[in-house]
Amino acid sequence: MGKFQKIQELFVSGLIKVSGYSAIIFVLLILYFLLSEGLPALKEVSVQSLLETRWYPIEDFYGLLPLIGGSIIVTLGATLIAVPIGIGTAVYIAEVSPRWAKEILKPMVEVLAGIPSVVLGFLGILAFTSLLRQSLDLPTGLTALTGSILLALISIPTIVSVSEDALDAVPRSYRDAAVALGATEWETIWKVTLPAARSGVITAVMLGIGRTIGETMAVMMVTGNAPILPTGLRDLFSPVRTMTATIAAEMGEVASGSTHYHILFFIGIVLFLISLIVNLTASAVVFRQRKRSERILS
Amino acid sequence: MRLQRYLLFVLFAICLIGCRGKSTSEGPSPPSDSGYIENKGSDTIVNLALAWAEEYQSIHPDVRISVTGGGSGTGIAALFNNTVDIANASRKIKPEEREAIEKNGTEPFEFVIARDAIAIIVNPENPIEQITLQQLSDIYSGKIDNWKELGGEDRPIVRLSREVNSGTHVYFLEEVVRLGDKENKTLFSKDTLLLPSSEGITAEVRDNPNAIGYDGLGYVTPDVKVVPVSRGDDSPFIYPSANTVNTDTYPIARDLYMYTAGQPAGLVKIYLDWIFSPEAQVIVNELGFVPIINSDE
């Protein structure tokens, strides 16, 4: 190897290393930026007033609870809708459907994943709001439930494609063994294939939840954005204001460096922490299961 | 070997492109008299500002005017960040915003460029025929929860408002919810829906017989019902129109503003002077706002 080649080698491998580490650097930079802009909020406003139930920033009411509650209830509703449908679709595509149906369904799910959330928001305003209001006899159709339905549509493709991959990865011999023991098709799916693919399916659900909690545009258009603290699942039928919609609606207007500005970044920190917790839970669950299965196999 | 060299070339090319992108973005911004005006702010005014800009550019093809919305606060924030020449606002500048501009060594100049009425709108199916300011305040502060209490049907009231970054929201809070009383600290009821756009309010009112909303007169469409408003029990109930706004009989009307940082000069001054000319004020009328006849800054 000549000298030139060595330099070349060094240069290229260096560049590749930098691009590899850049993801870590970006996350750290974002975290630093969030903390430096958001933490001053704690100095300007007491923690107690952040735990109030009234959000009205232009009159200095900075209670975050309605916003956190709003994000949680919309995400919870979306998960309740998306998980059964998503896993059901994945099971159908991977286990039950004939080949031609599979070839139509898979691209269709991917098309659903490609629809921009603003477009889904329009769909929500046009189709769901008045339908929900009339069929459930609600005062208004702009509710948490409307947001949940749209978010379910957004997260279903993620859940379907990831859990379908996990189901595909289950070895054929498992199913053959189950059928040989006299299990029906349903018993094979429910008791053998799904448990075997469990860690992949749980990852799929967690990715779906992550997608849901960060979504902004569709939610802002259909949830009504009223900062009411939800107290139970019953509040799915009333308007809510999510953290993401609050940041999007108010960030453009605040004077940079003001208390309101710092609080909006603080909401960003809370969002970041919540998705971190979701991710950590997911990997903890997957990790524990792998250990248990390793124990059984050894 | 060949592949490596190719990769190296590609990486080098990427670096070059990266460098070039940087140097163009650092180019000097054009001075304000070079034929370019940046205009930003209130969503209420954005259609009017656009119409003016188009008209002015067709008369003076050498001038380019860029108009964007985003809310009154957004426009004024851009003014003290020095990224716009003219900020549009549907409310007066706040003291802290004035201070921020004065920190830059200049002071904001205010121009009343048109007037606007805020119409109270309900669904056409709603039998309500008239409303007083006091009743509006009670509705939006949450004291009245059912249309029955106003002589309407037995339906819950769904309150619609613009987002808090909107000048219309602030004006409505001060003049309607608090009835113009500075000491009054009444707030919007917690369950008021905050919609991101005027169109959002119109769409929900058109669709929902429970809803009540407010919108600038320029945004009212024929498929919603405008309710006449009275100042008090003895005053007459007035529909919003150019005429009732100019005679100050319609109670919920306000001035619309443009702000500049420092005394306007050059092109910006010529443009603002043109805005007060009769030919520009005709456009105000066409868009559903109320023209200023005598401009007094």
Cβ(B220)–Cβ(B232) below 8 Å: no
The ipTM (two decimal places) reads 0.80
Put simply, the answer to whether B165 touches A221 (Cβ < 8 Å) is no
pLDDT tens digits for range A170-198 = 999 999 999 999 999 999 999 999 999 98
| Cα–Cα distances in angstroms (integers) from residue A45 to residues A39, A218, A220, A249, in the given order | 10, 31, 26, 21
Write out the DSSP string of A98-161: -HHHHHHHHHHHHHHHHS-HHHHHHHIIIIIHHHHHHHHT-S-S-SHHHHHHHHHHHHHHHHHH
- Region B106-129: mean pLDDT is 92
Identify any residues that bridge with B42 across adjacent strands, giving them in sequence order: none
Check whether B293 has a pLDDT greater than 50: yes
More reliable by pLDDT, B277 or B197: B277
- For B207, residues 6+ apart whose C-beta sits below 8 A from its C-beta are A129, A130, A133, A141, B123
CA distance B296 to A213: 51
Q: Which of A59-68, A247-256, B22-31, B127-136 shows the lowest per-residue confidence on average (mean pLDDT)?
A: B22-31
Closest CA of chain A from B270, distance in Å: 29
pLDDT at B297: 37
Rounded percentage of chain B residues whose pLDDT exceeds 70: 87
Given CB atoms, is B165 within the 8 Å cutoff of chain A?
A: yes
Q: pLDDT tens digit string along A40-80? A: 999 988 888 889 889 998 888 999 999 999 999 999 999 99
**Cα gap A164→B210, rounded to integer Å:** 45
Q: Are A242 and A67 in contact (CB under 8 A)?
A: yes
pLDDT at B28 over 50: no
N-terminal to C-terminal alpha carbon distance within chain A? 47
Tokens of B159: 């309150």
Answer whether A228 sits within 8 Å of B190, measured CB to CB.
yes
Which positions in chain A touch B170 (Cβ < 8 Å)? 58
Does residue B10 sit at the A interface (CB-CB below 8 Å)? no
pLDDT at B290: 87
Taking 50 as the threshold, does the pLDDT of residue B295 lie above it? no
Rounded average pLDDT over A119-139? 87
Residue B296 has pLDDT above 60, yes or no: no
How confident is the model at residue B4, as a pLDDT? 59
Of A182-186, B1-5, B221-225, least confident by mean pLDDT is B1-5
- The radius of gyration computed from the CA coordinates of chain B, to the nearest angstrom, equals 24
Residue of B14, B207, B212 to mutate when probing chain A, most A C-beta within 10 A: B207
Read off the pLDDT of residues A30-42 as tens digits, 9 standing for 90 and up.
999 999 999 999 9
Share of chain B above pLDDT 90, in %: 39
Instruction: Quickly state the pLDDT bin for A86 (edges 50, 70, 90).
Output: very high
**Contact between chains at A252 and B211 (C-beta distance less than 8 A):** no
Greater confidence (B289 vs B258) lies with B258
Token code pair at residue B20: 């070039």
Give the integer Cα–Cα distance in Å for A5 and A81: 57
Residues in chain A: 298
Structure tokens at A205: 């659900």
* Rounded-to-integer distance, Cα B290 and Cα B241, Å: 8
Among candidate residues B153, B127, B146, B160, the one with its CA nearest the CA of residue B227: B127
Chain centre distance of CA B4 = 57
Encode pLDDT of B124-180 as tens digits. Answer: 999 999 999 999 999 999 999 999 999 888 999 999 999 887 888 888 999 999 998
- Residues of chain A positioned with their CB less than 8 A from the CB of B203: 125
Q: Do B190 and A129 touch (CB under 8 A)?
A: no
Question: Residue B246: pLDDT band by 50, 70, 90 thresholds?
Answer: confident
Mean pLDDT computed over every residue of chain B? 84
Query: Does the structure show a pLDDT above 70 at B10?
Result: no
Token look-up 């948490």 returns A144
Label the pairing between strands B86-89 and B131-132.
unpaired
Rounded to two decimals, the pTM is 0.79
pLDDT band at B12 (very low <50, low <70, confident <90, very high): low
Confidence of residue A234 (pLDDT cuts 50, 70, 90): confident
Rounded Cα gap, residues B282 and B146, in angstroms: 42
Q: Of B5, B73, B194, which has the smallest distance from its Cβ to A225's Cβ? A: B194
* Token output for A182: 């006299």
Cα gap B146→B156, rounded to integer Å? 5
Q: By three-state DSSP, how is residue B269 classified? A: helix
* pLDDT 10s digits, A99-111: 999 999 999 998 9
d(CA B114, CA B100): 26
Q: How many CA atoms lie within 13 A of B116 on its CB side?
A: 29
Q: Which residue's structure tokens are 């196999």?
A: A297
More confident residue, B26 or B128: B128
- The label of the residue with tokens 């006899």 reads A137
Query: Per-residue pLDDT averaged across B211-237, rounded?
Result: 89
> Above 80 in pLDDT, residue A264?
yes
Interface test with B, best of A9, A13, A56, A58 (most B CBs within 10 A): A58
Mean pLDDT of A239-255: 87
Using the predicted structure, report yes or no on whether residue A257 has a pLDDT greater than 90.
Answer: no
pLDDT of the residue at B26:
36
pLDDT band at B82 (very low <50, low <70, confident <90, very high): confident
pLDDT at B22: 38
Contact A241 B194 (CB under 8 A): yes
3-state secondary structure of B238: strand
Which contiguous run of DSSP H or E holds residue A287? helix A259-297
Task: Please tell me the total number of residues recorded for chain B in this structure.
Answer: 297
Contacts of B43 in chain A (CB under 8 A): none
CA dist., res. B94 & res. B92, Å (int)? 6
- Band (B30; pLDDT cuts 50, 70, 90): very low
Work out the minimum CA distance from A173 to partner chain B, whole angstroms: 42
Name the DSSP class of B175. I
**From residue A218, how far is each of A77, A152, B65, B150 by CA, in Å?**
15, 11, 32, 35
The answer to whether A250 contacts B163, with C-beta atoms less than 8 Å apart, is yes
Highest-confidence segment of A65-69, B97-101, B284-288: A65-69
Query: Is a pLDDT exceeding 50 seen at residue A91?
Result: yes
Asked whether the predicted pLDDT for residue B73 surpasses 90, the reply is: no
CA nearest to B208 within chain A: A140
Inter-chain touch B193–A226, beta carbons under 8 Å: yes
pLDDT, chain A, mean: 89
Q: How far is the C-alpha of A257 from the C-alpha of A244, rounded, in Å? A: 20
Q: Is pLDDT of A252 > 80? A: no
* In chain A, % of residues over pLDDT 70: 96
Q: Do B190 and A250 touch (CB under 8 A)?
A: no
Cα within 13 Å of Cα(A199), Cβ side: 13
How far is Cα B133 from Cα B138, in angstroms, rounded to an integer? Answer: 9
